Structure formats: structure tokens, C-alpha cells
Amino acid sequence: MQSRRQILKAAGLAGAAIASPAFLRAQTREPFVMMTPFGFIADFIEMMNAISGGHMAAQGLEAKLLGGQGTAQPIQQLITGQAQMIRASGIDVMRAIASTKVPLVSIGTMYQGSTFHMVSLKSKPINKAEDLAGKTVGIVSVGGTTDVYLDLILAKGGLGKDAVKREVTGNSPGAVQIMKQGRVDCFIASIQVVVALQRMKEDVEIWSTDRYAPMPGQCYVSSRQLIEQKPDLYTRAMKAMYASAREIMTKPLQPIFERAAKDFEIPNIRNVQDLVEVEKATAERLWLSEGPDNLLRNVPTLWKAGVDALRDNKVADPGDPEALYTNRFVDAAR
């Protein structure tokens, strides 16, 4: 007959045996490096929350998020294998594929619509592409995404690239003052600037570049080589991203930002309510612009429209649009 001490000892050993696999899994999480194109701005909260909220850890991933300094940097890090997943705009991914011939693949689309919008004064509105003839247009940077979008908009309006003068106005609400001073007639800016202007009650006319150049907005991107080497890794990563996105859409946002700020240096976190309002608008207008059933999915019609626009206007030829994305990981995650 076993003594009480022997029974307790045996129970302890059994408990240790049961607990040890979980302990070992916690100690041997698989490394997974992600990268944003522009630091840790609030726009990338779903990536930060995937780590701070424990969603990556729940999938057995030891995730690390790096902040890039421009879109070219994370794409280069991905090509050289220093990162396994990046976030980048669909238009930049297509241009990179066309120029480098590296088989980059979108494994999920966060923004189904374009983040960029044309902004003009209601007293001097720019309502359509044809209205741009002879005007001075503000862009975020020379040769950047907004510069290319402007080319596509002009082409749709039957105008040449030289039909407008371009000025760099950056990507901030301050561009509206440049417009009021008459230095530009309109400018292109992101959804964050648009929401800020609306909260400031500025008397402006706004429309999305999707009106003339619909294509995927912001995507999660890897290379075909990486995803073929470890497909299960990307299934788990997209499960984490889906869980993070769902938490952001269903839970109070301020605590999510404050938790993420303990791990990442988020600009303007002192004005957290401003960040919350922008993120609410972003999720509503861009995450779900193709409907809730398409959350994180790559929408084939948007990829085809983007490739056609770039090819027809001789901006870039990224090849077969169906080769540029896969929904296998998002569908597994959902």
C-alpha cells in the first residue's frame, strides 16, 4: 500500500509530465520577424497588438516587430531574408515585383481600399480628374506612392503627366494651410490626415483615389520562397493577425493602444483619443470596405484592377495578378 507521501510524489511527477510540453513550447517559440514601412505609427496598431496582446505567442511564435524608414527598406529586408513578413501598399508591392522580379506574395490585405484621398477646398473644389488640368497638386513625396496615384488619376481623365504642377506638401493636416495660402490647389493625403481634417471641421472636399485607381491598399507580404519553406508558420501568423484585428474591432481601443505603448514608441500616444478616433475610421472605411467577409482576404478584382492600371499606363508590369497573392493562410486563419 502506498504512503501518502508516495502518492503525492507520484501526482507531482505526473503533473510535471503533463505540464512540461506546454512549458517546452513556451521556451521554444519559433522566431518570426515582421516589419512596418514607417516606424510604429498608430496606423500599424494591429501588428503591435499581435505581439502586445499575446496573439503571436498564442500561436507559438516569438514575434519581433521592426519599424522601417520607408517602403523600400522592409522590401529589401524581406528579399534578403532578414524579415519574414512586412506590411506594404499594394501599389508598392506591384512596382517592386516589376522592378526586382522577386516573387513577392501578398498573404493578406489589411486595407481593401486606398488610404490616399484627394483634398480640395469646397470653395474651389476638385471634383473629378478633368478638374486637375493646369492645377498645382500637393503630393507626399516625389516619386512616391501619391506621385504614382496622381499619374493614374490624370490618365483616367485623359490628361498627361505634365498637365499639373507638383509640390511636396507631406502627409499632415498642415497641408490644408498651404492650400489656403494658394500654393497648391489640392493635395493627396492619407486617411489619418482626412480624419484629422474632418475632426477640425475644415471646409474641404474629399474623395478617395479608388475612384480612379482601385487596388489593394495595405497588404501583408512575404516571398514565395519563404512561404513554401514553412507554410505552417504563415498559417499561425495570419491566425494571430486575424485575432488581433478582431480584438481591435470588438474591444475598447484606448487600453489596446496603452498596452502596445509599453512595448513600442507610438508617436502622439499622449493624445491617445485622437489615435483611437483615427483607428476607428480606418477600420470602418478601409478594413471592411469590401465587407466583413473579406476581412484580411486578398480580393481578386482589386489585384486585377491594380495590375491593369499600372500596365495600361506604363508605370509597371508586375505580371499575372493571380500570382501576386494567396488566400490559403487567411482562409485557414478564419
Q: What is the pLDDT of residues 184-217, one digit of tens each?
A: 999 999 999 999 999 999 999 999 999 999 999 9
Is 20 a residue whose pLDDT tops 90?
no
Confirm whether 4 is domain-assigned: no
Of 158, 178, 211, the position where a domain reaches its end is 211
Number of domains forming the structure of the chain: 2
Model confidence, pTM: 0.86
Of 211, 230, 249, the position where a domain reaches its end is 211
Quick one: pLDDT at residue 27?
A: 58
**328 and 220 belong to one structural domain:** yes
Residue 28 banded pLDDT, cuts 50, 70, 90: confident
For residues 316-332, average pLDDT: 96
**153 and 189 belong to one structural domain:** yes
Quick one: pLDDT at residue 18?
A: 39
Quick one: pLDDT at residue 334?
A: 84
**97 and 221 belong to one structural domain:** yes
Of 211, 236, 267, the position where a domain reaches its end is 211
Residue found by looking up cell 475610421 in the block:
281
CATH assignment of the domain containing 150 = 3.40.190.10
Q: How far apart are CA 87 and CA 18, in angstroms?
A: 39
**102 and 129 belong to one structural domain:** no
Is 325 a residue whose pLDDT tops 60?
yes
**187 and 266 belong to one structural domain:** no
Give the distance, in angstroms, between the CA of residue 189 and the centroid of all CA atoms in the same chain.
15
Confirm whether 291 is domain-assigned: yes
**31 and 159 belong to one structural domain:** no
**194 and 324 belong to one structural domain:** no
Enclosing domain of residue 97: 26-113+216-333
Q: Are 278 and 196 in contact (CB under 8 A)?
A: yes
Q: What is the pLDDT of residues 108-117, one digit of tens each?
A: 999 999 999 9
Residue type at 23 in one-letter notation: F
**171 and 299 belong to one structural domain:** no
Quick one: pLDDT at residue 71?
A: 83
Confirm whether 2 is domain-assigned: no
Q: Are 197 and 291 in contact (CB under 8 A)?
A: no
**315 and 223 belong to one structural domain:** yes
**222 and 307 belong to one structural domain:** yes
What does 238-290 look like in DSSP terms, one character per residue?
HHHHHHHHHHHHHS-HHHHHHHHTTTS--TTGGGHHHHHHHHHHHIIIIITTT
Q: What is the pLDDT of residues 230-260, one digit of tens each?
A: 999 999 999 999 999 999 999 999 999 999 9
Residue 72 banded pLDDT, cuts 50, 70, 90: confident
For residues 127-150, average pLDDT: 95
Q: What is the pLDDT of residues 287-317, one digit of tens each?
A: 999 999 999 999 999 999 999 999 998 899 9
**166 and 75 belong to one structural domain:** no
Confirm whether 20 is domain-assigned: no
